[in-house]
Amino acid sequence: MYQIVLCNCPNNEVASKIAKRLVHDKLAACVNIMTNVKSVYQWQGDIVEDDEITLIIKSKSCLFSELESTIKALHPYDVVEIIALDITQGSQQYLAWINESVK
């Protein structure tokens, strides 16, 4: 099964480092880096508003554990947002490309 994994990063440097590592290590076929994301959340009793960068990672569910470990090793947050969404449908050509591009 294929997945989209979402991960927010504090800046472009961290986002780029994670994206490049995931693609290099064949844990992701493609990573989109979306800038200008505004996040509002509760942290340690306060409401926080931050500018973040969102990664949209295309991969396979069988690689999730290794992908998660890699992100955590490179990410500075104490609690890293790593959310996997199963892809239930998609272009067969695109899904085949993901399959060929990852481990």
CATH number at residue 75: 3.30.70.120
Q: How far is CA 52 from CA 30, 63, 87, in A?
A: 19, 25, 24
Q: What is the pTM of this model?
A: 0.95
Bridge partners for 38 per DSSP: 51
Q: For the segment 32-71, what is each residue's pLDDT rounded down to a tens digit?
A: 999 999 999 999 999 999 999 999 999 999 999 999 999 9
Mean pLDDT in residue range 71-82: 97
Q: How many domains does the chain have?
A: 1
Bridge partners for 81 per DSSP: none
Domain containing 31 equals 2-101
- Could you give the CA distance from residue 37 to residue 1 in angstroms, rounded to a whole number? 28
